[in-house]
Chains A and B, each alone.
Chain A
Amino acid sequence: MSDLQNDPIDTIKRRKFLTYSLRTLAGVWVASLLYPIVKYLSPHNKEVTVDVSEINLGVKELAPGAAEPFAFGPKPAILFKTKEGELKAVSAVCTHLGCTVVHKDDLSAPPIPAGHKGAGFFCNCHLGVYDENGKNIGGPPPAPLPEFKVTVAENGDVTVSKS
Chain B
Amino acid sequence: MSELHNDQNKTPSAPSGVLGWLADRYHIQGLIDYLAKKEVPSYRHSFWYYMGGLSLLFFMVQIVTGILLLFYYTPGKEAYSSVKFIVEKVEFGWLIRSIHSYAANLMVFFVFVHMFSVIFMKAYRRPRELTYITGFILLALSMGMGFSGYLLPWDELAFFATKIGMNITESVPLIGPIMAGMLKGGPEVGFDTISRFFALHVWGIPILMIGVLGAHLFFIQVQGISEPDGFKALPVEKQKYVKFFPTFMYDDFLVWLIALNGLIVLAVFFPWELGPEANVFAPTPEGIHPEWYFMAMFQILKILPNIGPLESEHIGNIIFGLTGLILVLIPFWGEKRERLVSYFTIAVLAGLIIFSILAYHAVGKI
Contact = CB atoms under 8 A, between A and B. Distances in A.
Contacts of A36: 91-92, 95-96
Contacts of A41: 68, 71
Contacts of B95: 36, 40
A12 to B, nearest CB: 23
A40 B72 CA distance: 10
A37 B91 CA distance: 9
Nearest to A39: B91
A40 B96 contact: yes
A37 B68 CA distance: 8
B208 interface: no
B77 interface: no
Which of A39, A40, A42 lies at the interface centre, i.e. has the most chain B CB atoms within 10 A of its CB?
A40
Question: How many A residues are at the interface, by size bracket?
Answer: under 10
Interface residues of B, number: 10
Nearest to A41: B71
Which of B71, B92, B95 lies at the interface centre, i.e. has the most chain A CB atoms within 10 A of its CB?
B92
A13 interface: no
A135 B52 CA distance: 66
Which of B72, B90, B91, B96 lies at the interface centre, i.e. has the most chain A CB atoms within 10 A of its CB?
B91
Interface in B27-76: 68, 71-72
Contacts of B96: 36-37, 40
Interface string B78-110: 000000000001111101100000000000000
B91 A42 contact: yes
A11 B93 CA distance: 46
Nearest to A40: B92
Contacts of B89: 44
A40 B93 CA distance: 6
A42 B72 CA distance: 11
A156 B7 CA distance: 84
A90 B93 CA distance: 39
A39 B95 CA distance: 11
B68 A44 contact: no
A100 to B, nearest CB: 26
Contacts of A40: 68, 71, 90-93, 95-96
B82 to A, nearest CB: 12
A44 B71 CA distance: 11
Nearest to B95: A36
Interface in B187-234: none
A44 B92 contact: no
Contacts of A44: 72, 89-91
A145 B259 CA distance: 56
Contacts of A39: 91-92
A43 B104 CA distance: 27
Interface string A19-53: 00000000000000000110111101000000000
Nearest to B90: A44
A19 to B, nearest CB: 15
B66 to A, nearest CB: 13
B264 to A, nearest CB: 8
A39 B96 CA distance: 11
A37 B264 CA distance: 13
Interface string A53-89: 0000000000000000000000000000000000000
Nearest to B71: A41
Nearest to B72: A44
Nearest to A35: B92
A36 B96 CA distance: 9
A71 to B, nearest CB: 23
Which of A36, A39, A42 lies at the interface centre, i.e. has the most chain B CB atoms within 10 A of its CB?
A36
Contacts of B91: 36, 39-40, 42, 44
A56 B205 CA distance: 51
Contacts of A37: 68, 92, 96
A39 B91 CA distance: 6
A36 B89 CA distance: 14
Given A40-B68, A40-B91, A44-B90, 19 more contacts: A36-B91, A36-B92, A36-B95, A36-B96, A37-B68, A37-B96, A39-B91, A39-B92, A40-B71, A40-B90, A40-B92, A40-B93, A40-B95, A40-B96, A41-B71, A42-B91, A44-B72, A44-B89, A44-B91
10 contacts: A36-B92, A37-B96, A39-B91, A40-B68, A40-B90, A40-B91, A40-B92, A40-B95, A40-B96, A41-B71
4 closest Cβ contacts across the A-B interface? A36-B92, A39-B91, A40-B92, A39-B92
